[in-house]
């Protein structure tokens, strides 16, 4: 059996001051449902991370079913930190593959901008193991990738300018994306000299706090885009337990499994959306997914290979860094950009219309990774 | 400092089962609390509970007599390779100090 993508939608990412979590979720869901009106939805899967703690709202699946008149169908909310959206997509796909459902709605959503940064940082930290000495040491989520970056600089010829070039690429891509959070141009100098968040990562190296939602309708009924692979892997939940600090094994394993399922290799992928929660994360991910050799991602950045019309375009949407990162929506928003690329009408559309697209969604400090490969048929 | 071992993997974290052999992890031994800075960061933007300490340094320490690493908070500014040792364990936090620059 094969699963197909029938529609995608996405709200504007950024500060949606006047929209509640529910408003965002229903807006994206409605738009995706309207585009796939001929399908009867059999189940709803919601990707969301902190609706309960930060927006004081749970039962998201039931709200979608009720308010959008989908009837008494089963729904569920999936949580896997920043990979919540990717996991919701995967559960929707598995639900169809099991034979239980013919068509499903997957929606990812997060509402974050109303809370102070220290509060959001505190809640995001619950994506690390809170019972351990790492929490008491005051390690933060960005802090983990700061520690990784300093070691990466130590072992390679890379320095802060390579992370800045990567962040600049994603910002330039976002300028063409009307739904992206940041549409103000930035310069390399500005990125290099920005306020420090966690040494060596500055403001532009870290994904922002964002409100937003995205939705996808999947079905076993054919369309022109199929899911060629869905794979997921787990990794360490603590920094001190990483066997190799410069590796995110969950990304590597989920990538390998996805390539195997799709019967393709990294060289066959035409366009990529990667989980760049931090500039350093994209650097490691382009290596772990086999696009560039281990510890040589920085050379690819230097040579512009991941730019829009480079040999391996990464984050043509602007990525988490500049499109924005409403946590539970991020994995679903990656599908939005890739489906537009495959259809030929994306922001930063590739000159040669792509056939194979890869989405990689990360949760925690490498604790979850989900990889999907989409194929134009 | 105690480390736990099974199938050649040492960790300061006591886990229930070994991911290689699936048996209960039983081997433990005492090792020196001295080590070298494997990497570090200086955290400027902290969560609420640590905001009063910012900016502060968190380091990943490679323990001297073990393959295990340990996440610590350290008072001084450090570089990779600096020799460090335990000063005290306070509220579950390993607080380290620099002994010698790399
Ligand atoms: Zn074992």
Structure tokens at A372: 């999907």
pLDDT, one tens digit per residue, over A237-286 is 999 999 999 999 999 999 999 999 999 999 999 999 999 999 999 999 99
ipTM over 0.95: yes
Q: A20 CA to chain B: closest CA distance, Å?
A: 24
Angle at A362 between CA A82 and CA B93, to 5 degrees: 75
Partners of A127 in the β-ladder: none
pLDDT score of A125 more than 90: no
Partners of B58 in the β-ladder: B41, B73
**Global pTM value:** 0.98
- Contact between chains at B42 and A198 (C-beta distance less than 8 A): yes
Cα dist from B62 to A48, A164, B76, B84, whole Å: 36, 29, 17, 10
Element (H, E) at B10: strand B9-11
Chain B residues within 8 A (CB-CB) of chain A?
Answer: 9, 11-13, 38-51, 53, 56, 58-60, 68-73, 80, 91-94
Residue A325 is among the residues annotated as catalytic for this protein: yes
Catalytic position from the list A6, A82, A206, A277: A82
Nearest by Cα to A167 from A138, A188, A141, A195:
A188
Cβ-count burial of A1 within 10 angstroms (0-12 exposed, 13-18 middle, 19+ buried)?
Answer: exposed
Q: Would you tell me the crossing angle of helices A160-175 and A279-288 to the nearest 10 degrees?
A: 90
H and E: helices and strands count for chain A: 14, 11
pLDDT at B47: 85
What is the Cα–Cα distance from A169 to A302, expressed in whole angstroms? Answer: 11
Query: Are the C-beta atoms of residues A328 and A240 closer than 8 Å to each other?
Result: no
pLDDT score of A118 more than 90: no
Q: Which chain A residues touch B16 with a CB distance below 8 Å? A: none
Partners of B96 in the β-ladder: B74, B86
pLDDT, averaged in runs of 10, over chain B (102 residues): 96 94 97 98 92 96 97 96 97 96 92
How far from chain centre, in Å, is Cα A329? 8
Mutate to test the interface with A, among B19, B71, B84 (most CBs of A within 10 A): B71
- Contact between chains at B43 and A238 (C-beta distance less than 8 A): no
- Through-space distance between the first and last CA atoms of chain A, rounded to whole angstroms: 15
Angle at B68 between CA B66 and CA B71, to 5 degrees: 130
Q: What are phi and psi of B66, to 5 degrees?
A: -150, 160
Q: Which chain A residues touch B72 with a CB distance below 8 Å? A: 133, 137
What is the Cα–Cα distance from A215 to A185, expressed in whole angstroms? Answer: 28
pLDDT, one tens digit per residue, over A42-97 is 999 999 999 999 999 999 999 999 999 999 999 999 999 999 999 999 999 999 99
Nearest by Cα to A310 from A260, A272, A279:
A272
**Is the dihedral angle over the CA atoms A3, A356, A335, A203 positive or is it negative?**
positive
What is A300-331 written as a DSSP string? Answer: HHHTTTTSTTSSS-B-TT-HHHHH---GGGHH
Q: How far is the CA of B70 from the centre of ligand 1 (A)?
A: 21
* Closest chain A CA to residue B10: A241
- Contact between chains at B72 and A138 (C-beta distance less than 8 A): no
Structure tokens at A296: 């040589």
How far from chain centre, in Å, is Cα A154? 28
Cα dist from A308 to A95, A366, B97, whole Å: 34, 26, 47
Structure tokens at A46: 């919601």
Mean of pLDDT values over A108-127: 92
- Contact between chains at A143 and B71 (C-beta distance less than 8 A): no
Cα Rg for chain B, rounded, in angstroms?
15
- Contact between chains at B73 and A142 (C-beta distance less than 8 A): no
pLDDT, one tens digit per residue, over B52-62 is 999 999 999 99
Give the distance between the most distant pair of CA atoms in chain A: 58
pLDDT score of A130 more than 90: no
Write the residue in A137, A148, A201 that is nearest to B94 by C-beta.
A137
Query: Are the C-beta atoms of residues A107 and B29 closer than 8 Å to each other?
Result: no
- Contact between chains at B92 and A136 (C-beta distance less than 8 A): yes
Q: Which chain B residues touch A238 with a CB distance below 8 Å? A: 13, 71
DSSP A133: H
* Closest chain B CA to residue A236: B19
Q: Would you tell me the crossing angle of helices A60-67 and A21-35 to the nearest 10 degrees?
A: 50
Query: Are the C-beta atoms of residues A113 and A120 closer than 8 Å to each other?
Result: no
pLDDT at A128: 87
């Amino acid at each position: 059996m094969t699963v197909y993508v029938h529609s995608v939608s996405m709200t504007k990412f950024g500060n949606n001051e006047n929209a509640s979590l529910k408003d965002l979720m229903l807006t994206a869901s409605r738009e995706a449902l309207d585009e796939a009106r001929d399908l009867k939805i059999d189940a709803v899967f919601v990707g969301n991370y902190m609706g309960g703690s930060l927006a004081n709202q749970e039962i998201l699946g039931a709200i979608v079913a009720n308010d959008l008149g989908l009837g008494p169908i089963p729904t569920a909310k999936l949580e896997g930190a920043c990979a919540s959206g990717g996991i919701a997509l995967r559960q929707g796909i598995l639900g169809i593959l099991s034979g239980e459902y013919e068509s499903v709605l997957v929606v990812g959503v997060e509402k974050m901008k109303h809370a102070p940064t220290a509060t959001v940082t505190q809640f995001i930290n619950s994506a690390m193991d809170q019972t351990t000495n790492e929490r008491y040491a005051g390690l933060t989520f960005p802090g983990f990738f700061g520690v990784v970056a300093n070691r990466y600089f130590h072992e390679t010829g890379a320095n802060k300018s390579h992370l800045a070039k990567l962040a600049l690429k994603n910002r330039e891509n976002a300028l063409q994306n009307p739904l992206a959070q940041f549409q103000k141009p930035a310069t390399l100098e500005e990125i290099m000299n920005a306020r420090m968040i966690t040494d060596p990562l500055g403001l532009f190296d870290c994904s922002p706090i964002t409100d937003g939602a995205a939705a996808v309708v999947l079905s076993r009924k054919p369309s022109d885009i199929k899911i060629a692979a869905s794979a997921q892997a787990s990794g360490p939940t603590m920094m001190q337990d990483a066997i190799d600090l410069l590796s995110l094994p969950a990304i590597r394993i989920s990538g390998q499994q996805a390539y195997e399922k799709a019967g393709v290799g990294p060289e066959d992928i035409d366009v990529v959306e990667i989980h760049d929660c931090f500039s350093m994360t994209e650097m490691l991910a382009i290596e772990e997914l086999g696009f560039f050799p281990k510890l040589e991602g920085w050379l690819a950045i230097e040579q512009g290979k991941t730019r829009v019309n480079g040999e391996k375009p990464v984050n043509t949407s602007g990525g988490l860094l500049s499109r924005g990162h409403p946590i539970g929506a991020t994995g679903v928003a990656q599908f939005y950009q890739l489906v537009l690329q495959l259809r030929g009408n994306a922001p930063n559309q590739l000159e040669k219309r792509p056939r194979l697209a890869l989405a990689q969604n990360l949760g925690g400090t490498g604790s979850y990774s989900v990889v999907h490969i989409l194929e134009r048929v | 400092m105690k480390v736990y071992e099974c199938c050649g993997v040492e960790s300061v974290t006591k886990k229930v089962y070994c991911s290689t052999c699936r048996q209960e992890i039983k081997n433990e031994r005492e090792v020196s609390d001295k080590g070298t800075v494997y990497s570090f960061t200086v955290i400027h933007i902290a969560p609420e509970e640590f905001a009063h300490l910012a900016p502060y340094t968190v380091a990943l320490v490679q323990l001297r007599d073990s393959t295990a690493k340990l996440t610590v908070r350290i008072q001084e500014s450090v570089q990779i390779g600096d020799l460090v040792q335990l000063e005290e364990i306070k509220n579950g936090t390993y607080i380290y100090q620099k002994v010698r620059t790399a």
